[in-house]
């Protein structure tokens, strides 16, 4: 789910042989997404001072009392009066109608675009599972309205299940010789399955067992010498924040599910079955490594052991992990860790916000909906777990969540009811650039158009980027829907 995700040679050979009419070159499919999102070179070398309150150090011993047996969350009913929830539900319905193809039993697009493969333009695993996760949030808000669609999508997701590695899912649908497995993608599949298991309308032991298999596989990605989770099964040097954080979240969600049901995982028939204590220790090791090895002076989390940008989701998933850990066993160290991450995440003078925008008042998080949704999730959990103890930071988090949801709905929603993916409007289109200039007063800003917002079929690729049609993507819509639905719980 991170930069320069190259498909293994066997997958390239397979698709080029099986799908000769593929219109998008494999170099572009392999390049994937993050190279389209690197920060502009005109970012200032040092951020301006923070725009909001001067943070106070967290008070000692002011965190929630321990809850060693964290309960499985039970979703509450629909927040029908919340405009963000209403829009998130509508967007999920539109996303399903636009992207789901019953003939292929797959999320697809009408033409080649970023993250799609083959002449029928099927989505790879990462956007596929983001689509499912969006539907799950809509189902939590409106029980029973998306049950059938979610079950259908989960069964279709089994096309990605590896026959070579138990518990693993491949980046594209599995075939003999395909070992293109990313730990972060698989962690998100486990998280989605466990979310389904939480919901009364979807609770099925099959989902719990599948998630358990995946998390057992995730344990194999931990680097026992240096710490951190590997990104890919064949890339031991790539240890990054997203994989480590998401693996921790999957382990914690699984631990909560096992405690809630009282099920003995040894009954699942999976060798070397980790117990609840193992899951909690693994998650704590993940959090410790991310915070100790990947924290910048700003308090934000960098991309991985080799550095990289401060993507919004790295700080968001680190915060979410800490909040989940705190609900199992409260510690002052975890409380202060959460406080520092949340403070950094809502500071418009720091690099989660677009520092190239001179208008602090109109600064927004700098990357894309499919990353921002995980920051939203972390901030919402922070408010729910720590809001009583750090009210000023929680208040700032609520403010940012509300203004970002309003921004998504006003500037990123198209006439077709679907959403573009970049929060930096000047990379989307000339029309979006004009909206950015009007909003911020930054009239000297020129376009920096992102090809991932455009079609990439053969005919489109012959044109300059600005002349290619704007393409709505499953990642963009799924990320926007999740952001709106999760934020709608508290704002």
Write out pLDDT tens, residues 176-226.
999 999 999 999 999 999 999 999 999 999 999 999 999 999 999 999 999
Task: Give residue 324's pLDDT.
Answer: 99
Rounded CA-CA distance 239/246 in Å is: 13
Write out pLDDT tens, residues 373-408.
999 999 999 999 999 999 999 999 999 999 999 999
Rounded CA-CA distance 180/191 in Å is: 20
Of 101 and 49, more confident: 101
pLDDT at 27 over 50: no
- The 3-class SS string of the chain reads CCCCCCCCHHHHHHHHHHCCCCCCCHHHHHHCCHHHCCCCCCCCCCCCCCCCCCCCCCCCCCCCCCCCCCCCCCCCCCCCCCHHHHHHHHHHHHHHHHHEECCCCEEECCCCCCCEECCCCEECHHHHHHHHHHHHHHHHHCCCCCHHHHHHHHHHHHHHECCCCCCCEECCCCCCCCCCEEHHHHHHHHHHHHHHHHCCCCCCHHHHHHHHHHHHHHHHHECCCCCCEEEECCEEEEEEHHHHHHHHHHHHHHHHHHHHHCCCHHHHCCCCCCCHHHHHHHHHHHHHHHHHHHECCCCCECCECCECCCCHHHHHHHHHHHHHHHHHCCCHHHHHHHHHHHHHHCCCCCCCECCCCCCHHHCCECCEHHHHHHHHHHHHHHHHHHCCCCHHHHHHHHHHHHHHHHHHHHHHECCCCCECCECCHHHCCHHHHHHHHHHHCCCCCCCCCCHHHECCCHHHHCCCHHHCCECCCHHHHHHHHHHHHHHCCCC
The closest of 315, 201, 190 to 254, measured between CA atoms, is 190
Range of lowest pLDDT (79-88, 217-226, 343-352, 438-447): 79-88
Q: In order of start, what are the domains of the chain with their CATH numbers?
A: 82-424+477-489 (1.50.10.20)
pLDDT at 48 over 60: no
Contact of 418 with 370, CB cutoff 8 Å = no
Mean pLDDT of 33-62: 38
Write out pLDDT tens, residues 278-312.
999 999 999 999 999 999 999 999 999 999 999 99
Task: Give residue 74's pLDDT.
Answer: 43
pLDDT at 55 over 60: no
Mean pLDDT of 43-69: 38
Instruction: For residue 52, name the pLDDT band (cuts at 50, 70, 90).
Output: very low
Mean pLDDT of 247-252: 99
Buried b (16+ CB within 10 A) or exposed e, 24-43: bebeebebbbbebbeeeeee
Mean pLDDT of 135-141: 98
Q: Which two tokens stand for residue 159?
A: 């096309």
Of 349 and 11, more confident: 349
CA angle 156, 157, 159 (to 5 degrees): 80
Torsion sign (Cα): 414, 108, 161, 150 = positive
pLDDT at 329 over 90: yes
pLDDT at 77 over 70: no
Contact of 348 with 308, CB cutoff 8 Å = no
The model's pTM is 0.87
Instruction: For residue 273, name the pLDDT band (cuts at 50, 70, 90).
Output: confident
Task: Give residue 269's pLDDT.
Answer: 86
| pLDDT, the chain, mean | 88
Q: Which two tokens stand for residue 257?
A: 């599910």
């Amino acid at each position: 789910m991170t930069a320069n995700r190259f498909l293994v040679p066997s997958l390239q050979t397979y698709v080029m042989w099986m799908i000769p009419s593929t219109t998008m070159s494999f170099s572009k499919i392999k390049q994937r997404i993050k190279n389209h999102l690197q920060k502009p070179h005109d970012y200032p070398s040092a951020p301006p001072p923070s725009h909001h309150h001067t943070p106070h150090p967290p008070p000692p011993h002011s965190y929630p009392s321990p809850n060693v047996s964290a309960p499985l969350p039970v979703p509450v009913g629909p927040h029908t009066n919340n405009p963000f929830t209403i829009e998130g539900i509508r967007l999920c319905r539109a996303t399903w109608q636009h992207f789901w193809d019953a003939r292929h039993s797959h999320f697809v697009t009408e033409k080649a675009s970023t993250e799609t493969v083959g002449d029928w333009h099927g989505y790879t695993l990462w956007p596929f599972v983001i689509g499912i996760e969006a539907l799950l949030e809509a189902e939590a808000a409106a029980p029973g309205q998306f049950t059938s669609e979610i079950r259908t999508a989960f069964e279709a997701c089994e096309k990605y299940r590896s026959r070579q590695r138990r518990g693993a899912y491949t980046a594209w649908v599995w075939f003999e010789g395909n070992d293109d497995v990313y730990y972060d993608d698989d962690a998100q599949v486990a998280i989605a399955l466990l979310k389904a298991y939480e919901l009364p309308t979807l609770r099925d032991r099959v989902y719990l067992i599948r998630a358990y298999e995946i998390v057992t596989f995730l344990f194999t990605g931990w680097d026992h010498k240096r710490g951190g989770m590997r990104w890919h099964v064949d890339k031991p040097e790539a240890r990054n924040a997203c994989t480590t954080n998401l693996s921790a979240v999957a382990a914690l969600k699984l631990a909560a599910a096992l405690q809630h049901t009282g099920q003995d995982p040894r009954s699942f028939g999976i060798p070397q079955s980790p117990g609840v204590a193992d899951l909690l220790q693994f998650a704590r090791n993940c959090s410790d490594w991310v915070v100790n090895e990947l924290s910048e002076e700003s308090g934000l989390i960098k991309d991985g052991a080799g550095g990289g940008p401060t993507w919004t989701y790295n700080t968001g998933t680190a915060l979410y992990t800490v909040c989940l850990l705190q609900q199992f066993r409260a510690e002052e160290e975890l409380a202060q860790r959460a406080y520092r991450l949340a403070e950094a995440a809502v500071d418009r003078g720091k690099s989660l916000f677009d520092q190239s925008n001179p208008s602090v008042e109109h600064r927004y998080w700098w990357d894309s909906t499919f990353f921002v949704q995980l920051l939203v999730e972390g901030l919402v959990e922070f408010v729910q777990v720590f809001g009583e103890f750090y009210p000023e930071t929680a208040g700032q988090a609520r403010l940012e969540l509300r203004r970002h949801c309003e921004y998504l709905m006003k500037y990123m929603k198209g006439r077709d009811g679907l959403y573009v993916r970049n929060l930096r409007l000047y990379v989307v289109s000339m029309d979006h650039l004009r909206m950015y200039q009007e909003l911020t007063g930054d009239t000297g800003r020129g376009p920096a158009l992102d090809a991932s917002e455009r079609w990439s079929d053969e005919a489109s690729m012959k044109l300059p980027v600005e002349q290619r049609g704007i393409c709505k993507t499953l990642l963009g819509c799924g990320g926007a829907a999740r952001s709106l639905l999760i934020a709608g719980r508290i704002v």
